[in-house]
Amino acid sequence: MSTVKLTAEQREEMLRDNWNSHDARWYLKVAQELGFDVANRLNHIVIRSMGKTEMKRLAQAVGVEKVSDIQELLGVFDMVMEFYFPQQVYRQRIEHKKRFRSTVTKCFVADMVLQAVAADVYDCACAARFEGWLAGLGLEGEVSIERSMLWGEPTCEIVFRIAKW
């Protein structure tokens, strides 16, 4: 029996990788059994709900009780992105006091979907997850994908609109 212990970083990466594998396999099995339309619809519902839960948990863990402006929101989003998606490459730009844009130049989900040659059937659920994050912070808003690497674009452009602080 090995006495080698995993580091905290190794455990975290393994848990994240296992969750991503679970998520991908769940989606694929639903698609095989019920079709891609159902898989995409259910994936959006589940991912939005999961996003709300993960944001609530992280906000509680770090003591975030309320987000009252866009600067605070971007700070929380940066922290959450680093925790859940450290391999992502993105930048955020404030466009208005209630709107910001995230430009993603590297996305592991897009990489995997493109590698599987499934971009024509997979409907990206990132906007649903981000709407869940907003809900988890008690914010109302909408998130829209304006450009996507899954559509053949060089980047993803995601716009966040906050209804009210």
**How much of the chain, in percent, has pLDDT values that exceed 90?**
84
Fold for 8-164, please state it. Muramoyl-pentapeptide Carboxypeptidase; domain 2 (3.30.1380)
Decide: 163 and 96 in contact? Cβ < 8 Å: no
- What pLDDT is recorded for position 16? 87
C-alpha to C-alpha distances, 87 to 50, 53, 83, 84, nearest whole angstrom:
20, 21, 10, 9
Which long-range contacts link 24-29 to residues 24+ away (Cβ below 8 Å)?
24/112
Domain boundaries, the chain: 8-164
- What pLDDT is recorded for position 121? 96
3-state secondary structure at position 121:
coil
Torsion angle in degrees (nearest 10) through CA of 25, 30, 36, 38: -140
- What pLDDT is recorded for position 56? 98
- What pLDDT is recorded for position 63? 96
- What pLDDT is recorded for position 103? 97
Decide: 128 and 48 in contact? Cβ < 8 Å: yes
- For the chain, which residues score pLDDT lower than 70? none
C-alpha span between 158 and 41 (Å, rounded): 19
